[in-house]
Amino acid sequence: MNLIRKQNTWFPSLMDDFLNTNWNIDFPSYSNTLPAVNIKESYKEFSLEIAAPGLNKDDFEVSCEDNILSIEVLQNEKSKSNDGFTRLEFNYNSFKRIFTIPESVETSKIDASYTNGVLTVNMPKKKEARPQPKKLIKIK
The CA-atom distances, in angstroms, between 110 and each of 21, 26, 46 are 45, 39, 10
pLDDT band at 99 (very low <50, low <70, confident <90, very high): very high
Q: Which residues of 87-116 are buried (b: 16+ CB within 10 A; e: fewer)?
A: eeeeebbbbebebebeeebebeebebebee
pLDDT of residue 87: 74
- Residues 49-63 have a mean pLDDT of 90
pTM of the complete model beyond 0.75 = no
Domain edges within the chain: 30-126
- Residues 53-69 have a mean pLDDT of 90
Q: Domain 30-126 class?
A: mainly beta
pLDDT band at 29 (very low <50, low <70, confident <90, very high): very low
- Lowest mean pLDDT across 32-41, 63-72, 99-108, 114-123: 32-41
pLDDT band at 80 (very low <50, low <70, confident <90, very high): low
Amino acid found at 86: T
- Lowest mean pLDDT across 32-41, 69-78, 107-116: 69-78
Contact by Cβ (8 Å): 70, 96? yes
Closest CA to 123 of 57, 39, 53: 39
Farthest CA pair distance, the chain: 84
Closest CA to 102 of 54, 41, 33, 49: 41
Residue 22 to residue 67: CA distance in whole angstroms? 42
